[in-house]
Amino acid sequence: MEEKIQYTISIYSENNVGLLNRVSAIFLKRHVNIMSFSTSQSEIKDVFRFVIVVSVTEIQIKKLVQQIEKQVDVIKAFYHTDKETIFLESALYKVKSSSLFEERQIQNIIKDSHANIVTVSPKFFVIEKTGFRKDTEKLREDLSKYGLLQFVRSGRISVTKAPMGISQILNNFKNQNKKNE
C-alpha cells in the first residue's frame, strides 16, 4: 500500500450556491475524510478560494483534484505537500478571568506562547494564537489545566510557494471570447 500523506488542495472557483456541496460530494463518494476546510475570497475579484487538507496517497490526491477540476464552476484546482506551501491555523481560547489573577502560571503561559489577548471582560478573557497545529495544540493543552471555557481552531489557510497563474487562465478566456465576438 502506498503511503498516505497530508496534502493541501487549493481550489479557485466561482462563488455559487451549492458548489461547496458539489466539492464535498467528491470526497464523500470516495470515502475520504476532510481534515480541514476553509473558504474565502481570493486575490482575484469574484473568485473564491477553498483550502482543503486531506491525508491520502499520491494516486488518490491526483484523482481527487482531477474530479474537482472537472466541476463546471471550478476554475482550477491544485494539490501541494506541506513543504510546498506556507500554512497556518488560528485558534481562540476562552478562559475565566478569575484564573488569570488567581493562577500566576497562566500569565507565563500566555507570554511564552506569543499569543495575543483579544478581549478581557470581568468574567472571561479571550486569547488568540496563530501558527502551526503543534503550537495551537500546545497552548490548548497548557490552558486546559486551568479550565478552558471554549476552544476553537480554524481550518488551515495556506499560500503556495509556486505561482498559481489564475489571472492568466481568466485572461485567456477573455481573449478567446473577444476573438469569438
Residues of this chain that bind another protein (CB under 8 A): 13-14, 16-18, 21-22, 25, 28-29, 62-63, 66-67, 69-70, 72-75, 170, 173-174, 176-177, 180
Tell the smallest beta-carbon distance from residue 12 to another protein (Å).
Answer: 8
Q: Residue 181, SS3?
A: coil
Tell the smallest beta-carbon distance from residue 40 to another protein (Å).
Answer: 17
Tell the smallest beta-carbon distance from residue 59 to another protein (Å).
Answer: 9
Q: 61, 77, 56: which is closest to 13 by C-alpha?
A: 77
- Please give the Cα distance from 47 to 61 (Å, whole number): 23
- By C-beta, is 75 or 110 nearer to another protein? 75
Tell the smallest beta-carbon distance from residue 55 to another protein (Å).
Answer: 21
Q: Annotate 45-67 with DSSP letters as a single string.
A: TT-EEEEEEEEE-HHHHHHHHHH
- By C-beta, is 40 or 119 nearer to another protein? 40
Q: 88, 7, 83, 9: which is closest to 50 by C-alpha?
A: 9
- By C-beta, is 61 or 95 nearer to another protein? 61
- By C-beta, is 28 or 149 nearer to another protein? 28
- Please give the Cα distance from 58 to 50 (Å, whole number): 20
